[in-house]
Structure 1
Amino acid sequence: MKNIRSREKDKFGLWVLTWPIFIEMFLQFLLGAVDTLMVSRISDDAVAVVGFSNQLFNALTTLFATVASGAGIVIAQKLGSRREEDARTVAVISVKVTALIGLGLSLMLVAVPGPIARMLQLPEELMPLAIPYISIVGGGMILTALMSALSTAIRNTGNTKGPMYIAVAMNIIHIVMNYGFIFGELGFPQLGLTGVAISTVTSRLLATVMLFLIFLVAFERRIGIRDISLFDRKLFKEVLVIGWPLGVNSGSWVFSQLVIYSFIATLGSMELAARTYMSTLETFCFLLGFSLALAVQIQIAHLYGAGRTKEAYKAVYRSLSAGLPLVIINTWLLVLFGKHILGLFTQDEGILLICGALLWLNLALQPAKVLNMTLGNALNAVGDTRYTMYVSLTVMWVVATGCSYLLGISLGWGIVAIYGCMIADEYIRSIFCYVRWRNRKFLRMKEAELQAA
């Protein structure tokens, strides 16, 4: 037993889990930054289209995140309680269900990209760029769904390195193809934003294939063709009990961001481009904190499944003690050097002026994000997903979305007021999550369950 626990500590240690996730996320950040930099060589309008489209895609991913995220937590819990076969079954089910959802989304985005963009208030002058981009990248939503399910399942077995290596390869392929399509180099035709869309789908296809190969051997018993028909209603219900509040929670955030993007779009393409540039830079600030939050969710779910509740309780504070200082330092670096970095993306004085104000607001925004992500993920890891869902539904839509419209649009205070509402939303939700975690409700329930057994 001591040797088993030692191996688990090596596999599910916080930093062992964190550093591959961080490298993977950092590479995704670099991909986004390089993507934005390359697209900015086409035009600021093209950048606005990419930023707007990504919000749409992120909103739609919540439809399969319900299954993928719930399955990830259940997998870690089952492995913690030594139920390997149950974990394997959950993983197979999650991949099949998310693939079906992703296929439906792909067909929808290929069929009606224009009406969707108009419904979300995208400025009419951006439509010629947006429609082909949304239809091509959106047509690959099935790949996004599979990547989500496969990487989540693999990570929650304790293997965070596999997805990291694939992220390296995907980034390299995507950047090389972007360069070729945008500038007409390396034998590629010059296709502009359409070429960027083709590059995105191609790199995701290759990444999906590689993730699938790792997934087949992720558990002690190899996954084979016969497992296509594998289904367990009880286990799937367990996934949905944890997963549907997660999906609603994630959907609440993404759809609220999409609505806020539509508010910003009514302010003009300059504000929309500024928000897109800032989204790229902001990712740098909370990258390590976000990686720690994902890692601590895996660790706490595993500890909770094993009945090690005291260790699970303390894990969240260890993550915050490491993550918060790093995020604060990164945010200050962004304030000091952000304008110089933005100069690489655009020379538009109006956009740079807007971004200059938003850089300072990030000093308040980013620490709140880390608090909220870490505490929320900890609650999710022990199955307290309904609470985080209720908090998200209430606070996001009243504070972040409702107040953004009231202050930013109705009263005309603009994008700075919208950012202020986003900051208030993050702090209020993090306070609710902190109080809940201190209460230890689900941890005490687990302890009572173990004593009864």
Structure 2
Amino acid sequence: MQKREHNKFSLWMLAWPIFIELFLQFLLGAADTLQVSRISDDAVAVVGFSTQLFSALMTLFMTVAGGAGILIAQRIGSRNNEDARTIAIMSVKVSAVIGLGISVLLYAMPGQIASLLQLPDELMPLAKTYISIVGGGMVLVAVMSALSNAIRNTGNTKGPMYTAIGMNVIHVGMNYAFIFGKFGFPEWGLKGVAISTDISRLLAVIVLFMMFFGAFARQITFRDFFKLFDRTLFKEILKIGWPMGVNMSCWVFSQLLIFTYIARLGAVELSTRTYMNTLESFCFLLGYSLALALQIQIAHLYGAGKAEEAYRNSYRALWIGLGIVTVNALVLYLIGGHILKLFTKDPEIIAMGISLLGMNLLLQPGKMLNMGIGNALNAVGDTRYVMWTSITSMTLIASILSYIFGITLGWGLVGIYACMILDEYIRGIWVLQRWRKKKFLKPAQEKMAASSPNTGSSGGGTSVTLEV
């Protein structure tokens, strides 16, 4: 049993299914972008703009799901499976309620929301259709995120991966049928992409629920969702989760604000940024997978009182991640121009995108540093510090300086990207300094010493050693 748990929570066993899942999500986005580009560059701009809006609103339910995920891993590490089960059920229930509220808002007011965010008038008709349909299905995203997060933090990262495979295959196939009117379906265009998105997500939710019911030692039933609620545990979820939610909100709202700046520059710049989002996502996929896996592993170790091992593993994962994202960024810089030509024939968009790929060489290592060590701090409960670094840097640099350099000084996308790079490195340096102090690892050492007085922090014969 010790060997199985050793393997289950090793960094590689956690990371590779997450990578496959995220890679397939990237393919979903890339396929969306490629297929939508056959409609028009304006349609691409609407999808990119809407994605930033949806990401901003997702932080409302990811606050609960994120805090719950860390606590699930910690409780399993400390062999408290019943608490882990209760936390998971509560996270799904609360996320569903929040997601339903968001769905009603986006379905009822798509035009008003797009106007508030300064979307160009020529894009408004497409935006109303896309936001109302995909936004109306945000409850599915809320439930899917909570289920995936809970399952993943039990050490089962393969389940969400297999679900992502099925969801992507179905989505791409339906896109082809609904956009171009194949197999007897009407030619719906961008509306077809929106409908395809909601259907594929609904099917994913059904599959994830089937996995979720058997994810813990004691079977979960439908009755648990109506009866089970522990206020003390929920307060603990919020204590860890709300700073993570604020942190995520800072990022997505700064990105949404940046999209409004870019929208002021014009539809060409907005389309370019959307294409760049797709390329950058591919570049960072494996590094981000390592960062997520590291958070699960460190939370598990922290729950078991294995403080020093958690500290050492974070640096191994960081160096591996830095090497991977640097190589990926270099390869993307060399071939990115050819990839852009698959999406668009507009020479202005291609030229602008190639210049940003060069800046991406600087951006990606900073993102890896910030994400890797930031997730390590989150895993041990130091979420407030990560939150304050985000509030400070994203407000002053990502939001204010981006406007000054991009809009006021007229540097456009180049100026905005320069500020994004500076923001990542500033936050990365801050979280690294905090992690090196080991402040929030000391409680784990004391816990382990108290529970195993004869063996110190090694945890005795029942400890589980986790490796990269």
User: TM-score, normalised to structure 1's length?
Assistant: 0.98
1:361 aligns with 359
Moved more, 423-432 or 327-336: 327-336
In structure 2, distance between residues paired with 1:11 and 1:187 = 46
The residue number in structure 1 matching 2:402 is 404
Query: Could you tell me which residue of structure 2 aligns to residue 65 of structure 1?
Result: 62
Deviation at 1:452, TM superposition (A): 4.9
In structure 2, the residue matched to 1:289 is 287
**Aligned-pair CA distance for 1:448:** 2.7
CA–CA separation in structure 2 for the residues paired with 1:240 and 1:111 = 29
Q: 1:267 aligns with which of 253, 256, 265?
A: 265
Q: 2:245 aligns with which of 241, 244, 247?
A: 247
SS in 1 for 2:377: helix
> What corresponds to 2:412 in structure 1?
414
Matches within 5 A, 1:7-406: 7-228=4-225, 229-406=227-404
Name the amino acid aligned to 1:339: G
> What amino acid is the match of 1:113?
P
The structural deviation recorded for 1:449 is 3.9
CA contact (8 A) 2:306 2:444 kept: no
Deviations 1:156-180 (A, max 9, x none): 0000000000000000000000001
**Inter-partner Cα distance in structure 2 for 1:92 and 1:83:** 15
Alpha-carbon distance between aligned partners in 2 of 1:64 and 1:225, rounded to the nearest angstrom: 21
Instruction: State the alpha-carbon separation in 2 of the partners of residues 352 and 451 from structure 1.
Output: 59
Secondary structure at 2:402's aligned position in 1? helix
- The answer on whether the counterparts of 2:76 and 2:303 sit within 8 Å (CA) in structure 1 is yes
CA-CA distance at 1:21 after TM superposition: 0.3
Distance 2:229 2:109 in 1: 33
Asked whether the equivalents of residues 306 and 448 of structure 2 are also in contact (C-alpha less than 8 Å), the reply is: no
The Cα RMSD (Å) is 0.8
- Matched residues in 2 for 1:226 and 1:48: separation? 44
CA displacement at 1:411 relative to structure 2: 1.1
Tell me how far apart the structure 1 counterparts of residues 411 and 340 of structure 2 sit (CA, whole Å): 24
Equivalent AA in structure 1 for residue 172 of structure 2: I
Give the unaligned 5+ runs of structure 1.
none
> Counterpart in 2 of 1:434?
432
Identity %: 65
Partners in 2 of 1:321 and 1:405 — Cα distance?
33
| Paired letter, 1:21 | I
CA contact (8 A) 2:151 2:215 kept: yes
Secondary structure of the corresponding residue to residue 184 of structure 2: coil
SS of the residue corresponding to residue 188 of structure 1 reads: coil
Which consecutive segments of 4 or more residues in structure 1 shift more than 2 A?
448-453
SS, match of residue 282 in structure 2: helix
In structure 2, what residue type is equivalent to 1:39?
V
**Structure 2 residue identity aligned to 1:362:** N
Structure 2 counterpart SS, 1:121: coil
40-49 or 26-35: which moved more?
26-35
3-state SS of 2:436 partner? helix
Q: How many residues align?
A: 450
Task: Tell me, in whole angstroms, the C-alpha distance in 2 between the residues paired with 1:430 and 1:294.
Answer: 16
Q: CA deviation at 1:324?
A: 1.0
Q: Which moved more, 1:263-272 or 1:347-356?
A: 347-356
CA distances 1:70-112 after superposition (whole Å, capped 9, x unpaired): 0000000000000000000000000000000000000000110
**Residue 8 of structure 1: CA displacement?**
1.7
Distance 1:111 1:210 in 2: 29
TM-score w.r.t. structure 2 length?
A: 0.95
